[in-house]
Amino acid sequence: MKFSKKQNCINCVLKCDIYSTLLSTENSETCNEPVHAHLKKHDVICRQGTEVTHALFLVKGSAKLYIEGLNHRNIILYILKPPAYIGLLSFFESPYYSYSVTALEESEVCFIELSLVKKLYIENHDLLLSLNKAFGKSVAMIMQKIISLNQKQIRGRIAENLIYLSEFHHSHKFCVSLTRKEIGEMAAISEENTVRLLTEFSKEKIIATKGRNIEILDMSLLKKISEVG
Amino acid sequence: MKFSKKQNCINCVLKCDIYSTLLSTENSETCNEPVHAHLKKHDVICRQGTEVTHALFLVKGSAKLYIEGLNHRNIILYILKPPAYIGLLSFFESPYYSYSVTALEESEVCFIELSLVKKLYIENHDLLLSLNKAFGKSVAMIMQKIISLNQKQIRGRIAENLIYLSEFHHSHKFCVSLTRKEIGEMAAISEENTVRLLTEFSKEKIIATKGRNIEILDMSLLKKISEVG
DNA sequence: GTTGAACATTGTTATAAATCAACTTTTTAC
DNA sequence: GTAAAAAGTTGATTTATAACAATGTTCAAC
């Protein structure tokens, strides 16, 4: 992970809520100004079990948020794209991350010292509200994920995640930065079965794949498969 | 659900953070004072999918927090006992509950209008912190649950939940207010297999059961089973 | 005390999905 | 440009667990 030399927020391509709060409160503490980091693919942004010291804001690129389970098996909860608070779920308490985040491509992340955020958080109500909003959204999503992982069969789970990826890319035709194994980790199924199901869907003309390019041909059928389980 | 006639907070057996905040801010709005409710076993406290209108605080008794999944299959995330904020996870945004809560025994719940909480939340920093703390704790727990449900086998999952129940009751010997089916729902396994495993553990002298009374005889072995998966 | 409903139990069967194994293709590094 | 590593693919086998079925037990209501 390469940190850029104290890039000032003014030059940042994406202004976050924290920035606008900083402006309005005219905070003089320039010492703990947000630090801008450039990340390469596979770079770890935060690691499950380590201490939460900064608020993380994804400025550019994309990243996967996942929990590291037993026997080195991961479950990807969702994919992040800017603008997104990364460290959100573990903001105040708990002191340790309960998940990991890794860059899926070249990305930029802003590291904001937690002490600064806490200060702003208490002074500024709008910041508080916008952070809390994102909070609640994530939780609702995780609840759906639990149901899906437990009560749908792999066919339905893969269908669901293909729809998710399509919505994520705002298109029926997209190129994922995920390996087959990682697509499997989104649905908590084995790599082999992931491949098998993608081939199956292709044969059934529901999707078309060419390497990491995926096109959804029959979205309504895919949705039906996802709903059935 | 039976609401008591505007019981004043002063008479409440359990003072919550919101009460102390109310006191300190000397809020004059007596109209939307917290409402105290007495609940019977199986009474629904809040329902997944319905609008979030009140903050909920469990004063007495116990309740199960669960997500209602497909085909009327539930997954119990955890059991609540006082003092506990119930409506926590969906506090600000999202507008709808992403889970349900039902009383497991005769209980008392305090309903506080959300508008009041929001007001206090913004005015009072300590309240904000204490609520956020509980927030983060729940999330960390849910992450563990996802791993457990996905990557442990039913034997490990039941073991884990027996340990959880033991810690919940602060004793190796306890009487649950849960049916076998509900114990199964904690580990997301079928009622039949739940019974089978409890019998199995009994035969192996790891636990002793008599109806809803459960005693853990070999905690270290149970922990080992839980860890292995 | 009897009746019905909810709860608990045990054995059998069916099946979804992981694992194993072998192989091909693509990407990365020197 | 070649070697090595990573990623992708396909088929056969095994297994964990749900579903089915049948029966026993407890508990509440009249």
pLDDT tens, residue by residue, A55-69? 888 888 888 888 888
Q: Tell me which chain A residues have a C-beta less than 8 angstroms from the C-beta of B129.
A: 92
Helix axes A114-123, A125-151, angle to 10 degrees: 110
CA angle A33–A37–A42, rounded 5-degree value: 150
Contact B133 A91 (CB under 8 A): no
Q: Tell me which chain B residues have a C-beta less than 8 angstroms from the C-beta of A121.
A: 128
Q: What is the mean pLDDT of chain B?
A: 83
φ/ψ of residue B164, rounded to 5: -60, -45
pLDDT tier at A5, thresholds 50, 70, 90: very low
Q: Which residue is nearest to nucleotide D9 (CA to C1')?
A: A195
Of A134-138, A217-221, A225-229, the range with the lowest mean pLDDT is: A134-138
Asked if the bond preceding B83 is cis, omega within 30° of 0, the reply is yes
Q: What is the DSSP string of B125-160?
A: HHHHHHHHHHHHHHHHHHHHHHHHHHHS-HHHHHHH
The two beta strands, B2-3 and B107-113, are unpaired
pLDDT of amino acid A90: 53
Give the full edge-to-edge strand order of the sheet including A54-60. A2-3, A35-39, A107-113, A54-60, A84-85
Nearest chain A Cα to B73, which residue? A151
> Is residue B28 scored above 60 in pLDDT?
no
Query: Does residue A81 sit in helix, strand or coil?
Result: coil
Contact B150 A69 (CB under 8 A): yes
Report whether B39 contacts B109 (CB < 8 A): yes
pLDDT in tens, A146-203: 999 999 999 999 999 999 999 999 999 999 989 999 999 999 999 999 999 999 999 9
pLDDT tier at A3, thresholds 50, 70, 90: low
> Is residue B160 scored above 90 in pLDDT?
yes
Q: Tell me which chain B residues have a C-beta less than 8 angstroms from the C-beta of A150.
A: 69, 75, 149-150, 188
Report chain B residues touching chain A, CB-CB < 8 A: 67, 69-71, 73, 75, 89-94, 96, 98-99, 121-122, 125, 128-129, 132-133, 135-137, 139-140, 142-147, 149-152, 188, 229
> Is residue A82 scored above 90 in pLDDT?
no
Contact A147 B93 (CB under 8 A): no
Would the Cβ of B191 be found within 7 angstroms of any atom in strand C?
Answer: yes
pLDDT of amino acid A99: 87
Amino acid present at A85:
Y
| Nucleotide with C1' nearest the A191 CA | D8
pLDDT winner (highest mean) among A55-69, B97-111, B113-127, B170-184: B170-184
How many beta carbons lie within 10 A of that of residue B65, not counting itself?
20
Residue–nucleotide distance: B53 CA to C25 C1' (Å)? 56
pLDDT in tens, B33-69: 677 888 888 888 888 888 888 888 888 888 888 888 8
**Alpha-carbon gap, residue B71 to A181, rounded angstroms:** 29
Residue–nucleotide distance: A182 CA to C21 C1' (Å)? 22
**Alpha-carbon gap, residue A68 to A61, rounded angstroms:** 22
Q: How far is B178 from chain A (nearest CA, A)?
A: 21
